[in-house]
Amino acid sequence: MAATAFQKDLGAVHSVSHPIGAIYGVHNGLTNGVVMPHVLAFNAPNIGDKMQRLAAYIGWIDGKSSGASAVRAINDWILQLRSEIGISATIADIGVEKEKFADIARLAVVDPTAGTNPVPLN
């Protein structure tokens, strides 16, 4: 079931997580949790409808909220959950050095999961 996420507008979560895991040996699930709010914010212009349904389902917004407010609500929910379970806030917190950002970005845009992101990666 986790592989279905590759087709659900979160390709960049995985395409960024894969090189971090390869370079730093950090578990993919942890990196997914760290980068997800940033990817949601990046994808916000193209995922508002889906986030409206999700945010309404989990009770974080009413069914009449905008797509932008739904993305913010889902991000708030993820940030709260991360805090509760102790997931790092940034990739620097898991040991990623700024000097590696360009390498990670270069690898992320050619990762097979990048093509499923609703906003093209470059």
8 pLDDT above the threshold of 80? no
More confident residue, 84 or 56: 84
Between CA 51 and CA 44 the distance in angstroms is 9
pLDDT at 7: 59
- Which domains can be identified in the chain, with CATH numbers? 10-116 (1.20.1090.10)
pTM exceeds cut of 0.75? yes
pLDDT (0 to 100) of residue 57: 84
Integer angstrom CA distances of residue 3 from 27, 66, 69, 81, 93 = 16, 28, 27, 22, 26
pLDDT of 60-69, one tens digit each? 776 667 788 8
Residue labelled with tokens 């992320």:
108
CB atoms closer than 10 angstroms to residue 2: 9
